[in-house]
Structure 1
Amino acid sequence: MTVRAWHRLVLWDIDYTLLDASGATRLAFADAFHDLFGRPLREQVLMAGRCEAAVVPDLLRRNGVRDAHLRAPDFLAALAARADLVREHTRRHGTLMPGADATLAAVEGQAGIVPSVVTGNSKATAVAKLSAFDLDQRLCLASGAFGDEAMERVRLVRLAVERARRALPGASHDWAAPLVVGDTPEDMRAARGGGAIAVGVTTGAHDYRALRDGGADHVLDGLLDPEPLIELIRLGPSRA
């Protein structure tokens, strides 16, 4: 008799869900812009909930760069080269969101769980921020998806699911609906669009109502108590 085990992918947002990097991304953007174009970055753009692949052309256009879409790959490469700057700034000035480390540890300890990330940060920036607090050691980043890989966040959810399932192939594994854990309505909309269960956490600027209006299936009051999230994870193969 074949024993069928189930697995569940848990995809974490990073900024203001797991940690506050204290402006590390904007610092790297400003430094990269000055290096590439020889002048200060004057105009900022909305970043929350967006992919860097979409943010960068918008930022370049707003700051008077011609052919912004053609220069975007150069800018993303310049950002990747500033991973050490992001890591050090996050380590020195950033903070973990309350309960984040303990909740990650509790999730990591659940059988069949693949904990990873889906983030608007580019991969280099994401790893830099996570490694500042050793959170990269608690996550399967090979099954994650990053903001330099797609313009739209919903595509990142689908990409992460594909990667996780390729990493654990075989008929003996059933996959429960993935969970996306994030702090913004954009996270919730991307989760629902990607076929995942949308779990909002009030660790950032958005409250219960904003997350629900964004499409959250569940909203948790922060991460200080891991048990509500663990209960959602334990619901098993069927969708919550």
Structure 2
Amino acid sequence: MYIAILAVLSGAEGWVAIETYGKAKYEWLKEFLELPNGIPSHDTFSRVFARINPEEFQNGFLSWVNSITQKLGVEVIAIDGKTLKQSYDRSQGQKALHIVSAWSSSHQLVLGQKKVQNKSNEITAIPALIEMLEIEGSIITIDAMGCQKAITSLIIKKKADYLIGLKANQKCLYEEVKDWFESGNYQDLNPREYSYDKQVESGHHRIDKREVWVVPVSKLPCLHNQSLWTGLKTIVMVKSDAARSWGFPP
């Protein structure tokens, strides 16, 4: 298992590749592993993993990852759903595999994954994934699919904070926030009562301008079901404009 995990982390995508990795790293591996019979064959790797209970293996693996997370002091954890390319099989009637992952971008590390039947089931998979992770002291970011009262409550219960996208799936709350900003109400506030930042970036023949307003909830009228959104402190508006740019190198 140790060799297999190291091989997969290094890019191995099959049993033969795992065996090849082991043989290439044999001198290094034997410094901390007992290998009286050398590197196992690809058939041995296949047989061993076929007999492992997947849930028990996942629990053990996540326990190990959680211990790493605590030592690294992961501050931002992005939770996102993705459909794996080429994971479907039309001849067998098998749909593409959709997973929800927790990702630490600063450490380039997947902290956990949860398989779901389809994208709509992310709402149930996200809380299950959060329950599996040690997130105390971290900021959890999720797109609008995860903008659910139960999810924010769970994140706060596990002593973390959240930054979640707000779109029309929470229609009343979304319309209230959208109307407040579009009416320019933030302009009536004292500049010390909210934060504003502007960034301009260029690259790939594009110029991207982003403006961000961060306003305490206390400065807005009482929002729809505000008391049910556990830990809600701040509302953010992001305005993004992109324009094409063309030029020639000197």
More strand by percentage? 2
Same fold at TM > 0.5? no
User: Highest CA radius of gyration, 1 or 2?
Assistant: 2
TM-score by length of 2: 0.26
TM-score by length of 1: 0.26
